[in-house]
Amino acid sequence: MSRRLLRSRRDQLAFGVCGGLAERTGIDAGIVRLAFIAMFWLGGVGLLVYAFLAVLMPESGESTERVRAGWAEAVALGAIALAGLFAMAATGLLLAPGVLAASALLLGGGAVVVRQLLTPSDGKRSSADWRSTLGETDGVRITIGGLLVAGGVALFILGAGDLRAFPGALAAGTVVATGFALLVGPRVARARAEAAHERTERARTDERMRVAARLHDSVLQTLALVQRADDAATARAQARRQERELRSWLYDEESQDGPDTLASAMSAIATDVETGYGIVVELVQHRDTPFDPALSALADAARETIVNAAKHSGAETVSVFVQLAEREAVIFVRDEGRGFDPAIVPTDRHGLRDSVVRRLAEHDGTARVTTTEGQGTEVELHVPRMSST
């Protein structure tokens, strides 16, 4: 016996309404179904109530296997319903089929519209993605509801001969359906609230699992590696790479989908060089901006410069400062290594000239090297910005 009133997916012939009622109340589903058929004979009320409930009751979230395939039961119930129908038609107790269909369409359509108008107020649909997709189905459902109502009105007009019988049937159906709605309404509302709560809870659990998986794949693996690392340099490089990765995951949500901004590209470069060359890259950058060709060239030039410092300077640390001003972007790459005399750089070493100077010149940028033998090197890379932020 379940606590909430939900359409059953376990015990379902049409929409699971009877199964749901049975699970909620503990009465056998077959008896509930017979009761609905009995009400069906009473001027079609059973059908109306069933349609109303099918629309209003939320579907159970459990996806357990069905306990009843139910073909035999469906055929048996259908036969009982039809037999009763013929018997009542023969004795003239039944309302004309045209009136029944018309009022069924009217009430069913009304229920669909009412449900759609009520649901947005349940407050759980905060996510923007949800709202947009739901907005579409809302429209579709209201349209269907409207069409049903219109169809009911049309049937009623076509079957004008039943003019006298119709108001009575409509009134009876409405009264019973309203009574039912009042009876089960609060329960349905509570069930909806609980279903929504359950959804939130599940989302929270999913998020926790995601974080746990992420930490396991990254931090715990790195910690294991660090414990087994033979030398301090390897351990430090691994720790630095992990720190940077975790930091960007925690604080840098915008740039998780690959380096499409300058800051994410520079972080990736710093990590690569640290891992590849076993040095520390102290990266300072406070602003970020989407990539454009000039900034992309700047980042490539910076990578080449940082790699040069890592390979040739002998310093353990390279400081990188990224400054995004309104008119230009500047990257400073500095080390306290051995420095060099620019005049005696071998002519076969084209790294700086080709990769850095030429690359920047294509975007009207410049590179300036300040170095003294024995006192470190600083390279300034400038490019003008196409548009200010």
Partner 1 sequence: MSRPLRQVVLVDDHAIFVAGLRAGLPPDIEVVGEAATAEDAIPLIRSLDPDVVLLDIHLPDAGGFSVIPAVHAERPAVRFLALSVSDSAEDVIATIRAGARGYVTKSIAPADLAAAIHRIADGDAVFSPWLAGFVLDAFSDRPEASSDPELDLLTGREHEVMLLIARGYLYKDIAARLHISVRTVETHVSNVLRKLQLSNRNELTHWAARRRII
Binding site for partner 1 (CB under 8 A): 243, 246-247, 250-254, 263, 280, 282, 284-288, 317, 319, 321, 323, 325-326, 332, 334, 378
**Sign of the alpha-carbon dihedral angle for 135, 140, 144, 150:** positive
The distance of closest approach from Cβ of residue 365 to partner 1 in the complex, given in angstroms and rounded to an integer, is 18
The distance of closest approach from Cβ of residue 332 to partner 1 in the complex, given in angstroms and rounded to an integer, is 4
Considering beta carbons, is residue 263 or 383 the nearer one to partner 1? 263
Considering beta carbons, is residue 247 or 353 the nearer one to partner 1? 247
The distance of closest approach from Cβ of residue 288 to partner 1 in the complex, given in angstroms and rounded to an integer, is 6
Q: How far apart are CA 19 and CA 28, in angstroms?
A: 9
Residue 314: in which H helix or E strand, if any?
Answer: none
Residue 323: in which H helix or E strand, if any?
Answer: strand 317-324
Considering beta carbons, is residue 28 or 282 the nearer one to partner 1? 282
Considering beta carbons, is residue 136 or 326 the nearer one to partner 1? 326
Burial class (CB in 10 A: 0-12, 13-18, 19+), 100: buried
Burial class (CB in 10 A: 0-12, 13-18, 19+), 373: exposed
Considering beta carbons, is residue 263 or 298 the nearer one to partner 1? 263
The distance of closest approach from Cβ of residue 316 to partner 1 in the complex, given in angstroms and rounded to an integer, is 9
The distance of closest approach from Cβ of residue 184 to partner 1 in the complex, given in angstroms and rounded to an integer, is 48
The distance of closest approach from Cβ of residue 232 to partner 1 in the complex, given in angstroms and rounded to an integer, is 12
Q: Give the contacts of 239 (CB within 8 A, at least 6 positions apart).
A: 222, 226
Q: Give the contacts of 81 (CB within 8 A, at least 6 positions apart).
A: 37, 40, 41
378 three-state secondary structure? strand
- Decide if 320 contacts 284 (C-beta within 8 A): yes
Considering beta carbons, is residue 18 or 280 the nearer one to partner 1? 280
> Which amino acid, residue 381?
L
The distance of closest approach from Cβ of residue 241 to partner 1 in the complex, given in angstroms and rounded to an integer, is 13
Considering beta carbons, is residue 9 or 334 the nearer one to partner 1? 334
Q: Return the ∠ at Cα 312 (arms to 307 and 316), rounded to 5°.
A: 80
Q: How far apart are CA 285 and CA 307, in angstroms?
A: 19
Secondary structure (H, E, C), 240-283:
HHHHHHHHHHHHCHHHCCCCCEHHHHHHHHHHHHHHHHCCEEEE
The distance of closest approach from Cβ of residue 20 to partner 1 in the complex, given in angstroms and rounded to an integer, is 47
Q: What are phi and psi of 333, to 5 degrees?
A: -120, 120
The distance of closest approach from Cβ of residue 315 to partner 1 in the complex, given in angstroms and rounded to an integer, is 10
Considering beta carbons, is residue 206 or 254 the nearer one to partner 1? 254
Considering beta carbons, is residue 96 or 246 the nearer one to partner 1? 246
